[in-house]
Amino acid sequence: MALVPAIHAVTPMITSPVPIFLSVLLIILIAPIVLNKLKIPHVVGLIAAGVVVGPYGLNVLARDMSFEVFGQVGILYLMFLAGVEIDMYHLRRNLKKGVTFGAFTFLIPLLLGALGSHLLLGLDALTSVLMASMFAAHTLIAYPIVSRFGLTRQPAVVIAIAGTIFTVLGALVVLAAIVGICRTGEFRIGGVLRLFGMLAVYCVSLTYVYPRVTRWFFKRWNDNILQFIYVLAMVFLAAQLAVWAGIEGVFGAFFAGLVLNRYIPAKSPLMGRIEFVGNALFIPYFLIGVGMLINVGVVTKGWGTIYAAAVMSGVAMGCKWLAAAATQWIYKMRGVDRSMLYQLSNAHTAVALAVVTIGYGMGLFDEVILNGTVIMILITCTVSSIGTSAAASKMKILSLSEEAPDDAYSRRRRQNVLIPIANPITAPELVDLALLMRGGGDGSVYALHVRNDNSASSRAIGRNSLDVAEQVASSVDVKLIPLERYDLNFVTGVINAIEERDIDRVIIGLHRRTNVIDSFFGDKLTNLLRATNKMVVITRCFIPVNTMTRIVVAVPDKAQYETGFRDWVNALGFLTAQLGCRLIFCCSSATRRAIEAVLRQGRFVIRSEYRTIEEWDDFILLANKILDDDLFVVVNARRASVSHSSDLDSLPEFLQRYFSRNNLIVLYPEQFGEQAEEMAMTDTMTADIVSAPSPLWLKLTSYYRRGIQLRKRFTQRNRQNKIDL
């Protein structure tokens, strides 16, 4: 069924596949360059370019099957990005507002649109309701503008996205009811109930199956290309399943984004690839295809078409503004939030095209309404794109002014990060963790490989390791500076790099024990901890960090008095915000208040929970509470520091005994004090610095602790409920 009046009989200038694809790529390349100078949003430019080169413009390109395929893929990809980029914590917090806005932005256009269509266009009741459903539903065609400004987690954007899905589902229900009435002559509640039943089954099935399959796949295959293909397959599978269930495919793509959101951190290589492919190819292809559907020549068809288009555009945009204003008034939102709600919900494309196509095919709409719909799509898309760009600029300025830290401590922190890398196998996970914990600091990220020989194999391993680290960082648009050192030994090379580059944080992997007498940390890490007072993060993860469900942090008493207390709390806050999981602190009451203050000052919107541990003996009870999908973080302390206690001396043995199969981070905060003298190679071979206690001492200590535990058994049983994770 033709969506617009008959296309020109003249053969397009370009018909071969390769020139068509080349022409589209040139449009995608040149349009932003030209439009930046004219201060016009890219979305409008791509749609306008589609109008010019399409069959209703210069007839340069034919709207062949490639535009059908890429156009459908583009709209699904757009909705998937809206779901995967949304902050689930913000969504839960703003879900009530999103439902309210969705109800307003659906019911107000439905009621007023039906009334206006009946009074102003002379349509009957059934046709008026069908047209009103077209006014109610909208498409997030301006979402790329919001994403480009980095505002996808703003409450107004989250509310608008939630309202979009509400309107799409509502329009589908109205459309199904009207189609049923036209076919049977009466309204049957069974069809509507069936649609809701299929929707419930669909959502429950995807919510249960997708996370489990995704976690299994990501654990088993860590290849970036395979993960990207897997995500795309899951998205289009969800869209096709939605179509089979009688639901619109755009809902399936969006819901797949929500379900997979947890496993695709915003600052991960996988997310970088997803955004790149969508914004570079699929979404621009979709926008150009939309422009090729628009026939500007219908304006010359007579005053009837112009009048219908004016009424439809005015009613559609006016009702959307009323819905945004009502939501703003109820929840006391800012004016810029109302503008964002209105402009994002103002564009009508996908659902409007579907409704008018079905209505035209059933004989409910004539050619005047069909042409008026085309003009309405052009007007609403243009207004929405320009308005969203203006609202996004204001919102970005306000968000920067509100979130800019104004204390001297935040201004002096650079967050220079050093990542010592021994081989290319462990490089990706170390760089990923460092970038997730880094946040938005102004400092630099360095990858260091230290070697103590000049053999060709050693040089090749070092160069390969640094190349892998650079590739991982570049995939998320972070500049990583590679450092290759020839030094006396590993510790000396790291310490020299810390001094030369003014490093604030070191992130290093836990070594592998090579023999029975080897200590848990090993000589290198032990000597490194003695040689520097900077923050050191020692990590060992058996599964990808994006598949972890909880972060459990064991904090010693008086940890809040350490110099680097705020740094490590902020680092864990950034990590949790990226992963979207729960953050559970096991600490004393005094430390809890300090942690809450740091998170509140940092404006972290995360799910943080607390379990009270008044004595370090309660740490033993955590052994059975840490799951395989958890990340267990232990905040340790160097000897002679404020938070150090004799209990921490046996920590390495305890971690090796009870947490040998768990994902683990041992974190040493930055501490006051002069750094130790630089060690030579002979020092590291002869000195036993901060060595673990002897086996006899550990055995005597264990007997002593068992006696204490027997006396405190009743107390520990009562305390068990306090730290139940």
| DSSP letters for 120-140 | HS---HHHHHHHHHHHH----
pLDDT reported for residue 359 = 76
Cα distances (Å, whole numbers) of residue 619 to 309, 397, 585, 720: 70, 46, 12, 11
Pair 281, 274: CB distance under 8 Å: no
Our measurement of the distance from residue 242's CA atom to the centroid of its chain's CA atoms, rounded to an integer in Å, reads 23
Sign of CA dihedral 427, 433, 436, 442: negative
Q: What's the burial of 60, exposed, middle or buried (CB within 10 Å: 0-12/13-18/19+)?
A: middle
pLDDT reported for residue 722 = 53
Cα distances (Å, whole numbers) of residue 396 to 154, 209, 601: 10, 37, 20
DSSP state of 693: P
DSSP state of 279: I
Tokens of 299: 């304006």
pTM of the model: 0.72
Residues of the chain with pLDDT under 70: 1-12, 39-41, 183-188, 191, 296, 298-302, 350, 354, 357, 401-414, 440-441, 512-519, 614-620, 623, 672-725
pLDDT tens, residue by residue, 299-357 = 666 677 788 888 988 999 999 999 999 999 998 888 889 999 999 888 887 677 767 76
Cα distances (Å, whole numbers) of residue 50 to 33, 58, 90, 305, 468: 16, 10, 36, 22, 40
Pair 555, 572: CB distance under 8 Å: no
pLDDT reported for residue 233 = 93
Q: What's the burial of 644, exposed, middle or buried (CB within 10 Å: 0-12/13-18/19+)?
A: middle
- How far apart CA 277 and CA 265 sit, in angstroms, is 17
Of 373, 355, 390, 388, nearest in space to 315 by CA: 373
| Beta strand 663-668 pairing with 535-540 | antiparallel
Tokens of 35: 């439009």
Of 352, 390, 274, 292, nearest in space to 46 by CA: 292
pLDDT reported for residue 477 = 79
Pair 439, 230: CB distance under 8 Å: no
pLDDT reported for residue 403 = 54
Mean pLDDT of the chain: 79
pLDDT reported for residue 265 = 82
pLDDT reported for residue 569 = 92
Our measurement of the distance from residue 448's CA atom to the centroid of its chain's CA atoms, rounded to an integer in Å, reads 29
pLDDT reported for residue 633 = 92
Q: What's the burial of 133, exposed, middle or buried (CB within 10 Å: 0-12/13-18/19+)?
A: buried
Cα distances (Å, whole numbers) of residue 708 to 384, 474, 691, 712: 69, 53, 26, 6
Of 124, 133, 112, nearest in space to 176 by CA: 133
Q: Which residue has the tokens 């890429």?
A: 70
- How far apart CA 415 and CA 443 sit, in angstroms, is 5
Cα distances (Å, whole numbers) of residue 364 to 120, 248, 356, 357: 16, 21, 9, 10
Tokens of 173: 């229900």
